[in-house]
Every structure is written in C-alpha cells, then in structure tokens.
C-alpha cells in the first residue's frame, strides 16, 4: 500500500479499496453477496440501500425504496476484495459514488458516533 501511494497520487478509488478491505479484515464485511430477502446474487441484480444502518442490501424486487446500488458497483467492490493490490480497481464516477455511500454506511453502522474525518474527506472530495 505505502509503495503504491509513494509512486502514484492517491485517489478516491484507493480510499474505497482500503475501506472495503479494512472492513473485511476486521470482520465487518459489507453484505454485498446476496439479497437478504430472496437470496438473489447482488452482482447480477444490484439492490437498494435502505434507510438506517447497513444490515443487508435487498435486490430491486425485494426493496421498497432506497438509493440504488448497481450490479457494476457490487462487482467492483467484490473485485477490490479479491485483489490485494492498490491501483488495480478503479471505480468510475457513478460507481465511486455508489460504493462510497455503501461503505460510509457500513462504517457508520459499527460506530456509536459520527467520524469527524469522514466529513473532512467529503469536503476534500468536493473541493478537489
């Protein structure tokens, strides 16, 4: 990781790659495999982020509302977990936003209060 950051400029894809792998290592892997309602493969169907915490991502058929997460974003997150190298997975703009919201919710669901640095990072993304 440090070698990659030393040789290349850090980007938002690197941040999301790091976050999904850190959550996985800590035992808090985001629920990106199957719909909790019907068991559909989210990489094939996509799903919706419901309000509140992140306790599962229902597929579009089972969801009653929420922010859409495309199957492409799910696939990129899965690819991030399969590879151990920074810089291999690059999220496009829309996929980065979808993965970002999913990961921000996943992190927040395990905390008792907001992380101040998340607000700072969002500010930096908007200004940069």
Within 10 A of 96 (CB to CB), how many other CB atoms are there?
Answer: 19
Q: What is the DSSP letter of 41?
A: B
Least-confidence region, from 2-6, 80-84, 88-92, 117-121 = 2-6
| Domains defined for the chain, CATH in brackets | 1-126 (1.20.1440)
* DSSP reduced 3-state for 128: coil
Query: What residues contact residue 28 under an 8 Å CB cut-off, 6+ apart?
Result: 106, 110
Higher-pLDDT residue of 128, 63: 63
Task: Give me the residues paired with residue 68 across strands.
Answer: 48
Higher-pLDDT residue of 39, 2: 39
Distance from C-alpha of 36 to C-alpha of 33, rounded to nearest angstrom? 9
- Over residues 22-68, the pLDDT tens digits come to 999 999 999 999 999 999 999 999 999 987 666 789 999 999 889 99
Query: Which pLDDT score is estimated for 30?
Result: 92
Query: What residues contact residue 1 under an 8 Å CB cut-off, 6+ apart?
Result: 18, 86
Helices (H), 42-92: 42-45, 71-82
- Over residues 73-98, the pLDDT tens digits come to 999 999 999 997 878 889 998 999 99
- The two tokens of residue 118 are 């998340």
Q: What is the DSSP letter of 36?
A: T
Q: Output the pTM of the full model.
A: 0.81
């Amino acid at each position: 990781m440090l070698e990659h950051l030393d040789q290349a400029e850090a980007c938002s894809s690197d941040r999301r790659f790091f976050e999904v792998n850190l959550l996985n290592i800590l035992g808090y892997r985001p629920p990106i495999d199957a719909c909790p309602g019907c068991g559909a493969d989210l990489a094939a169907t996509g799903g919706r982020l419901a309000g509140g915490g992140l306790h599962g991502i229902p597929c579009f058929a089972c969801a009653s509302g929420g922010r859409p997460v495309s199957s492409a974003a799910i696939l990129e997150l899965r690819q991030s977990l399969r590879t151990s190298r920074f810089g291999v997975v690059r999220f496009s703009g829309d996929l980065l936003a979808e993965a970002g919201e999913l990961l921000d919710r996943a992190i927040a669901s395990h905390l008792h209060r907001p992380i101040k640095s998340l607000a700072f990072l969002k500010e930096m993304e908007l200004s940069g």
